[in-house]
Structure 1
Amino acid sequence: MLAPSRLMATARFVPLPIAAQVANTVLKQTLRIHPKLFDRLGEYRTARFAFIPNDFPFSFSIRPADRAMTVMRRGKLPMADATISGPLVLMLALAEGRVDGDALFFSRKLLVTGDMEAVLALRNALDDNEVDLVSTISRLTGPFGEWSAKALDLVRRDALEKQGVPWN
């Protein structure tokens, strides 16, 4: 099986349009499963959130009201009202509610800047919906869903273990 570090290294060869298509497909699938995901954001639905992994060749920006994601190569900073940066696996685990966000913030494993109220609203919205990205992505693989879920779960667990972060 590919280790998470090999997956990260391989990602730099992915063309930007393909990375953007994959990210938006996962977002759309997530919104199909959780159609009210952004409802709890209230006034922050129009805020722009940037996610800048420090170990991945792409950065992401989302404005929940648009229900679409902008993907750019790392180094090009997206305009944002709030920004979260750190290892990609920690940001994904945070989106799933699998890690303690406060602990990651105070241990400086994740850096949060900008409108903290917007970030808190986003965190609450994600916590309310119990997002499971492994399940979401696996649904996109058709007859390979069960196999891909097992493989992705192993990759996720290994990546979190390597970050030294306990599973919530």
Structure 2
Amino acid sequence: MAAIAAKSLLLGPSYILTLALRRLVRIHPDAFARLAAYRESLFLIEFTDAPLAFSLRPSGTSGQVRVLSTAAAKTVRADVRIAGQMVDLLRVFDGTFDADAAFFSRRIRVAGDTSALMALHNALEAADLTLADLIGAPASARGLVNRGLDWTLHHWRSA
């Protein structure tokens, strides 16, 4: 029963993040075109310090993001698995933490198809996204949302 309740609680965030992804694909089609053959790949982003994970299939305007429990994430057959602390992974995705430095310093771990991972990295880098973009914040609120998220992540890291 608890598993069903947890799964249903994650539907709302999954829907919002899926809409955000699809909006980003419409706004930055050239960046997401860099995914080429990897647009149907399934990426699993696992947080080592929180009981959550995300699956991402950047299939153009039909792309999908799912928020998962760590238990559910273990059953996902992903092409690429990326694991690390939440702050580090969010910073890699918004480009404020160099992905190569994060990988070589072992702050993030990667398993699976590295070509697909590089294609995703190149697409995100070309789109020049912020955390507010990634969560689908409205354009009028992005500055405020980014400042709030930056403050939160900075203080989370130092806690």
User: Which TM-score tier does this pair reach, normalised by the shorter chain?
Assistant: 0.7 to 0.9
Quick check: 2:82–2:110 contact (8 Å CA) kept in 1?
A: yes
RMSD between aligned residues: 2.6
Quick check: 2:45–2:55 contact (8 Å CA) kept in 1?
A: yes
Cα shift readout 1:37-57 (whole Å, capped 9, x = no counterpart): 321112212221111112333
Other-structure match for 2:3: none
Quick check: 1:134–1:153 contact (8 Å CA) kept in 2?
A: no
The reply on whether 1:85 has 2:83 as its aligned counterpart is yes
CA distance in 2, matches of 1:152, 1:54: 23
Other-structure match for 1:59: 53
CA distance in 1, matches of 2:87, 2:28: 21
Other-structure match for 1:120: 118
TM-score normalized by structure 1? 0.74
Other-structure match for 2:137: 138
TM-score normalized by structure 2? 0.77
Quick check: 1:135–1:149 contact (8 Å CA) kept in 2?
A: no
| Structure 1 pair 54–131 and aligned structure 2 pair: CA distance change class (3 A) | same
Quick check: 2:131–2:146 contact (8 Å CA) kept in 1?
A: no
| Structure 1 pair 60–94 and aligned structure 2 pair: CA distance change class (3 A) | same
5+ residue gaps, structure 2, are: 1-5
Other-structure match for 2:153: 159
Q: How many angstroms does 1:131 deviate by?
A: 1.2
Other-structure match for 1:5: none
Quick check: 1:61–1:69 contact (8 Å CA) kept in 2?
A: yes
Other-structure match for 1:30: 24
Percent sequence identity is: 29
Q: How many angstroms does 1:83 deviate by?
A: 0.7
Aligned length: 148
| Structure 1 pair 47–90 and aligned structure 2 pair: CA distance change class (3 A) | same
Cα shift readout 1:9-28 (whole Å, capped 9, x = no counterpart): xxx8x812122122213222
Residue 74 of structure 1: which of 70, 75, 91 is its match? Answer: 70
Other-structure match for 2:100: 102
Q: How many angstroms does 1:31 deviate by?
A: 2.3
Instruction: Give 2:30's aligned amino acid.
Output: K
Cα shift readout 1:123-146 (whole Å, capped 9, x = no counterpart): 111111111232563317xxxx44
Q: Look up the SS of the partner of 1:46 in the other structure.
A: coil
CA distance in 2, matches of 1:151, 1:70: 22
Q: Look up the SS of the partner of 2:55 in the other structure.
A: strand
Quick check: 2:44–2:78 contact (8 Å CA) kept in 1?
A: yes
